[in-house]
Amino acid sequence: METYWILEYGKVFLGYMFLMFLWPSVVFRKHLKDKNARYSFSFCVTIQILIINTVVLMLGLFHVLNKRLIVIMFYGVFMWSVSRHLVMIKSKRVASCNIRRCKVQIEKFANAFWKAIHPRIEEYLLLLIVVTFGVVFFSYGVLQIYTYGAPDMSHHHEWVNSLVKGVIFPEGVYPEAMHCFIYCLNALFGIRIYSIIKFLQCIHLIVFFISVYCLLREIFCWRYSPIFVLALYLTLDFNRFMYSMYRFASTLSMEFGLYTQFLCGLYLLRYIKGDGYDKQKGTGGWRDDNLRIFMLSLAASIMIHFHTTIMAFILCLSIAIFSIKKILRLNYLVPLFIATMVGCIVAMMPMAGALVSGIPFEASIYWGLQGMQAANDDVSQESANDSPGLLDPNADDLEVIEKLPDSGQKLVRGIIRVEKLIKEIYEHGYKLMYGKERGRRIFQVTIIVIGLCIIGRSRFGKQIGRICKGYPPIILISICSMLIVVTCNISGLGIPQIIPGSRHCSSGHVFILGVLWMPIDLMFSMAVVFVKDQILRVISVVLVGVIYIATKWFGIFHTFPYCKLMEYEAAVIVTNSIIKEFPEKSYTIISPKEELCQVELYGNHEEISEFVNRTKEDDYSISTENIFIYVEKKPIVYWQLYNFQGPAWLGQSRDNNIEAYEISAVAAQEDLSEYASINQIYSGGRVILESKAYEWCRSFEERYPNELIVYYEDENFVCYYIKQDMDKPYNLGIGK
């Protein structure tokens, strides 16, 4: 089975590379012909999301969505683009069958490629090594255990299954770009949806890491600094960030779209550095490449997940604050406003069409809005009651303030609020997330870097100011990241909670480490004047290795992430075997709900608690020839944490011990009626449920000797198989 899953990983990887990079590179070859690598990368990973999401959802709105049409459209456009290119080559009398001329063309391409990367070969190789290390780190655990690692993954799988059936927004309007992308991978390459969802995010991390690199490359002066930050990000222990980081190994909508915020910030920053719209020169406006990618990135963020759009807004606001005068000029503001509106309209168009057709918002949208509203209500209630908040002056402060004139009172109140807010960010942000000592050091470095930026604004620090010019937005977003954590952990600040802190941690950690590295970036940037560039490049290469060795030496090397177990992996293996071995719709699997998404498109599924209840009837049968019953002999503790393990060079392993109970005849006699929902049954009454299922199997075996076959069994799990005559199906009911 290990070989099977490795091959599935390879299929997903190749399919992803084709759909995300090769397809747009060929289709938009003319547009990308004279563009640099950064632009081409950003264009591919944003335009493809926009195209796939729009095409799939619009076909769904008109009730014509099906795999065959998707295959014709995407492969048709790709082959048409290839044929046009071949015709153009032929018109230039470069015969494709002429081996010698083909060899010349290949050599020209190779020489041009080498010429482009040769000046920075060490930089690109280091980036490749670091990104590969990150992908392997998060993929290693996923290849260890075959179950889904997060509860939401099954839910997303069901939504992709709905797309296969031609139904969009099955539970209400929700950003579906990730589901549409998975659907297209399945339609174009025939890869199992289970395999795609299992492995996609680990591969998609390539885009996340490169997007982070591109943004930081625009911020830092020394070109190796972004790689140093990524090296720290992928080696330092992140226990405080574990919840957010463990999700990197799971294909979830928000994590799939995290890269868009970095591209939004990058191209807004580059747009601000440009000349804006100039009609006489014919520059800026829609001709501005940076504005174009900003628009595409914004649209992609909305299509993937609203939380990523909120993160992009926070980052872009942090960038815009330091260039507000320039942005407010009409030649900058008008094109930016139009691009933002166009991006929002394009992204929301399929969702708006669904709302107009009568489909409501999905429940989690209301849940998120209610959470934000609750935070705002708390703030409003405190204001209405005139109750002092955490930032308000205390009694001693008020005694001093009341002696001051009115204008002085407002100023002092403001100073006190800022002072207390900084203390709260330090105590409940930096120290909470990084620990007492590390948090203190990071906070101190942040203050030092702020001081350097202030010095750089003076006439005595022009050299420092040139280097630190791009630092302020990253410093501000790092502080905002800590503020988000604070608002989620304590109330009374008078600041609304706009996004869960645990969801922002993985991105916020990037900016925190970026600030932490700024003094070293300053040192390298100033050393260029005194030290040869070649020497600094060698030092930089060595320093990446030093980061890796030092984190291991000092015991701060990261541990492997974890997953949340909801079933034994034997259940996944058996389900996969049944799908491959038996004809479609010829079988019914009776098991917990986790198998539903995996088997839905191939066979029938009956939830095990429903099965147990229906067996109490006098007459109960199942209308398929083959019946499989999954029974956990040692019922698993639902949603328990399972730590991935691996080699010491890749991460630190922690002990693993799957927690489970034991089924018994006594437990089978207990009542399940006190459990109101399926999740409550799985978490609190799983022993009772599995015991009842096992006892039913024993009872059936007594009634029909030799008809109950063991399809698979190990010490924890058993799958029973019943083959029945469809003219005379078995009565599965045993009565009350």
Q: How confident is the model at residue 221 (pLDDT cuts 50, 70, 90)?
A: very high
Handedness of CA 267, 273, 277, 282 (dihedral sign): negative
How far apart are the C-alpha atoms of 456 and 117, rounded to whole Å? 33
- Residue 494 phi, psi dihedral angles, 5° rounding: 75, 20
- Residue 388 phi, psi dihedral angles, 5° rounding: -65, 135
pTM: 0.92
Do 178 and 38 fall into the same domain? Answer: yes
Residue 467 included in any domain: yes
Structural domain ending residue among the three candidates 527, 558, 587: 527
Q: How confident is the model at residue 594 (pLDDT cuts 50, 70, 90)?
A: very high
Q: What is the 3-state secondary structure (H, E, C) of 189-242?
A: HCCCHHHHHHHHHHHHHHHHHHHHHHHHHHHCCCCCHHHHHHHHHCCECCHHHH
Structural domain ending residue among the three candidates 527, 557, 574: 527
How far apart are the C-alpha atoms of 48 and 181, rounded to whole Å? 9
Do 301 and 175 fall into the same domain? Answer: no
What number is the average pLDDT over the span 402-419?
A: 72
- HSE, side-chain direction, 13 A CA sphere, residue 79: 6
On the question of pLDDT at 433 being above 60, the answer is yes
On the question of pLDDT at 95 being above 50, the answer is no
Residue 544 included in any domain: no
Rank 138-147, 263-272, 329-338 by mean pLDDT and report only the highest: 263-272
Residue 86 included in any domain: yes
Helix (H) / strand (E) element for 717: namely strand 717-723
Residue 641 three-state SS: strand
pLDDT of residue 91: 61
Q: State the total domains in the chain.
A: 4
Asked if residues 615 and 734 have their Cβ atoms less than 8 Å apart, the reply is yes
Rank 360-364, 485-489, 665-669 by mean pLDDT and report only the highest: 665-669
Do 38 and 164 fall into the same domain? Answer: yes
Q: How confident is the model at residue 145 (pLDDT cuts 50, 70, 90)?
A: confident
pLDDT of residue 427: 86
On the question of pLDDT at 500 being above 80, the answer is no
Six token digits for residue 45: 């990973």
Do 243 and 268 fall into the same domain? Answer: no
Residue 264 included in any domain: yes
Do 77 and 178 fall into the same domain? Answer: yes
Provide the β-strand partners of residue 640.
565
Q: How many CB atoms lie within 10 A of CB 118?
A: 9
On the question of pLDDT at 240 being above 90, the answer is no
Q: What is the mean pLDDT of the chain?
A: 87
More confident residue, 456 or 267: 267
Q: Which of 232, 229, 135, 132 is nearest to 556 (CA)?
A: 232
How far apart are the C-alpha atoms of 77 and 74, rounded to whole Å? 5
Q: How many CB atoms lie within 10 A of CB 435?
A: 14
Do 165 and 69 fall into the same domain? Answer: yes
On the question of pLDDT at 120 being above 90, the answer is no
What number is the average pLDDT over the span 574-584?
A: 94
Q: Which domain holds residue 332?
A: 257-361
Do 7 and 147 fall into the same domain? Answer: yes
Asked if residues 45 and 207 have their Cβ atoms less than 8 Å apart, the reply is yes
Buried b (16+ CB within 10 A) or exposed e, 438-469: bbeebbebbeebbebbeebeeeebeebbebbe
- Residue 715 phi, psi dihedral angles, 5° rounding: -70, -20
Residue 316 included in any domain: yes
Do 194 and 214 fall into the same domain? Answer: yes
On the question of pLDDT at 1 being above 70, the answer is no
Q: Which of 344, 292, 347, 312 is nearest to 42 (CA)?
A: 292
More confident residue, 499 or 110: 499
What number is the average pLDDT over the span 192-217?
A: 96
DSSP 129-154: HHHHHHHHHHHHHHTT--S-SSHHHH
On the question of pLDDT at 689 being above 70, the answer is yes
Helix (H) / strand (E) element for 309: namely helix 306-321
Give 429-435's long-range contacts (Cβ < 8 A, gap of 24+). Answer: 429/482, 429/483, 429/485, 429/486, 430/482, 432/240, 432/485, 432/489, 433/240, 433/241, 433/482, 433/485, 433/505, 434/240, 434/512, 435/240
Do 278 and 167 fall into the same domain? Answer: no
How far apart are the C-alpha atoms of 513 and 231, rounded to whole Å? 10
Give the end-to-end CA distance of the chain in Å, rounded to a whole number: 42
Q: Which conformational region is residue 276 in: left (phi greater than 0), alpha (psi within -120 to 50 degrees), or beta?
A: left
Q: What is the DSSP letter of 635?
A: P
Do 399 and 449 fall into the same domain? Answer: yes
Q: What is the DSSP letter of 286?
A: G
Tokens 């259940």: give the residue: 571
What number is the average pLDDT over the span 365-375?
A: 56
Residue 410 included in any domain: yes
pLDDT of residue 245: 80
Residue 24 included in any domain: yes
Do 711 and 605 fall into the same domain? Answer: yes
Do 499 and 583 fall into the same domain? Answer: no
- For the beta sheet containing 626-632, the strands, ordered from the edge strand earlier in sequence to the opposite edge, are 604-607, 587-591, 626-632, 717-723, 709-713
Structural domain ending residue among the three candidates 247, 282, 316: 247
What number is the average pLDDT over the span 109-129?
A: 79
On the question of pLDDT at 222 being above 50, the answer is yes
Q: How confident is the model at residue 655 (pLDDT cuts 50, 70, 90)?
A: confident
Q: What is the DSSP letter of 243?
A: H
**pLDDT tens for each residue of 318-328:** 999 999 999 99
Q: How confident is the model at residue 96 (pLDDT cuts 50, 70, 90)?
A: very low
Residue 736 included in any domain: no
Six token digits for residue 736: 């009350």
